[in-house]
Amino acid sequence: MNQTIGRKLLLSYIVIIVVGGLTLAIAAELHTPTAIARHMNNVGGQMMHRGEHEPMSSDLLANVAQAINEILLVASIAATLAAIVVSAFVTRRITTPIHTMQVASQRIAAGDYSERIAVRSADELGDMATAFNAMATTLEATEMRRRQLLGDVAHELRTPLTNIRSVIEGIIDGVLVNDPAILIEIQDEVRRLQRIVADLEALSKAEAGQLSLEKRLIDPTHFIKLAVERLAWQYEQKGVVLHVELPDKLPLIELDEGRITQVMLNLLGNGLQHTIEGDVVRISAEFSSAHLHIHVADTGAGISPDDITHIFERFYRADKSRKRTSGGSGIGLTISKHIVEAHAGSLTAKSGGLNQGSTFTLSLPRP
């Protein structure tokens, strides 16, 4: 590809050189005789004035013109040769980075995402190299997440499946009795599997921009209370205080209640997950003429500045140990953010750092 461009560039330079040379030759041919005649006659006139010579003969005039043409020809050939050498050099300077980019993109296409190219100039080619490197970095990150995603999904599915299998085998072998408590254990694992599958399904829909929303005009107090009621018992069990401090009247908001309740449940679930007995999770709300803001603030584990920029990425968990006790699969906030953004709202996180608690703010536009 770049050889064609190189050839085209060189050809265009040569065309320019030839056109320049021809223009020079034609202009010289047309203009030389009259210019010489004029100038020589001037000189001749002055000399005659002093009585030294005859006016210039036409023979001498032709000879001078020929000499000038000769000089022009030699100069043109030298200039053309120099121009060709310089064009070849300039062409190489332009085509080399293009060639480098071509080779690098082929490597990336073949799956080597670590490929980067050196940015050597501050012009458009340099910009292209910078853009290329940025693209390669994004592709590398996406590919890494894709691999991690597969690993994570496999890991998330393996544990409940292993548990279910061992219980069933235990019952078949007669080691375990067919007792309702054991069946409830299996049921829990099946629920866990169903939740993971549902989350993955929601995530893939959300990422494809296919979340269907059934919006209605709703009093936000309603879904906040709904989420609080659903988790109140678990909070009580863990000894974490759940405070709800809402203004008397909140503005009606147009939203898909089911999905926004899911967002609230995710935030409250995370709050519960990252707090210990005696901690407090506080729900508050405020509104302006354009937005309603709901804050979920906890006094728990907090989030480090390094982690806080990533927590909305899918499968990202600050605690990489993946103990089953230490949380879910890292999809909750990703789905929540997609849901909120589908409502033209925003979901943000703030934390003073580790052990400084965290505050999540859900903002929705008022109709």
Ligand X SMILES: Nc1ncnc2c1ncn2[C@@H]1O[C@H](COP(=O)(O)OP(=O)(O)OP(=O)(O)O)[C@@H](O)[C@H]1O
The residues binding ligand X (CB under 6 A) are 199, 266, 270-271, 273-274, 298, 300-301, 303, 311, 316-319, 327-334, 358
Distance CA 272, CA 225 (A): 16
Count CA atoms within 13 Å of residue 65 on its CB side: 19
Task: Identify the residue among 302, 332, 345, 357 touching Mg ion (CB under 5 A).
Answer: 332
Q: Residue 344: left (phi > 0), alpha (psi -120 to 50), or beta? A: left
| Cβ contacts of 278 within 8 Å, gap of 6 or more | 239, 240, 241
Q: Which does 274 bind (CB under 5 to 8 A by kind): Mg ion, ligand X, none?
A: ligand X
228 binds, among ligand X, Mg ion, none (CB under 5 to 8 A by kind): none
Q: State yes or no: residue 357 binds Mg ion (CB under 5 A).
A: no
Q: What does 271 interact with, of Mg ion, ligand X, none (CB < 5 to 8 A by kind)?
A: ligand X
- Torsion angle (degrees, nearest 10) of CA 49, 51, 55, 59: -140
- Compare residues 261 and 270 and give the one whose CB is closer to ligand X: 270
Compute the least distance from the CB of residue 202 to ligand X, in Å: 10
Task: Tell me the C-alpha distance between 99 and 312, whole Å.
Answer: 39
Q: Are 321 and 314 in contact (CB under 8 A)?
A: no
Q: How many residues bind Mg ion (CB under 5 A)?
A: 3
d(CA 165, CA 186): 9
Residue number with the smallest Cβ distance to ligand X: 328
The answer to whether the beta carbons of residues 336 and 266 sit under 8 Å apart is: yes
Residue 362 binding target from Mg ion, ligand X, none, CB below 5 to 8 Å by type:
none
Cα–Cα distances (Å) from 144 to 140, 152, 200, 316, in that order, read 6, 12, 18, 12
Min dist. Cβ of residue 260 to ligand X (A): 16
* Pick 259 or 317: Cβ nearer ligand X: 317
> How far apart are CB 156 and ligand X at their closest, in Å?
9
Interacting residues with Mg ion between 262 and 321 (CB under 5 A): 270
**Minimum CB separation from Mg ion for residue 263, in Å?**
11
- How many CB atoms within 10 Å of residue 301? 19
Give whichever of 17 and 337 is closer to ligand X, judged by the CB atom: 337
The residue (of 44 and 330) whose beta carbon lies closer to ligand X is 330
Distance CA 281, CA 269 (A): 10
Compute the least distance from the CB of residue 231 to ligand X, in Å: 13
Whether the CA torsion 117, 123, 125, 128 is positive or negative: it is positive
- Which one, 126 or 269, has the nearer CB to ligand X? 269
Residue whose CB is less far from Mg ion, 6 or 332: 332
* Residues in contact with Mg ion by the rule CB under 5 A: 270, 328, 332
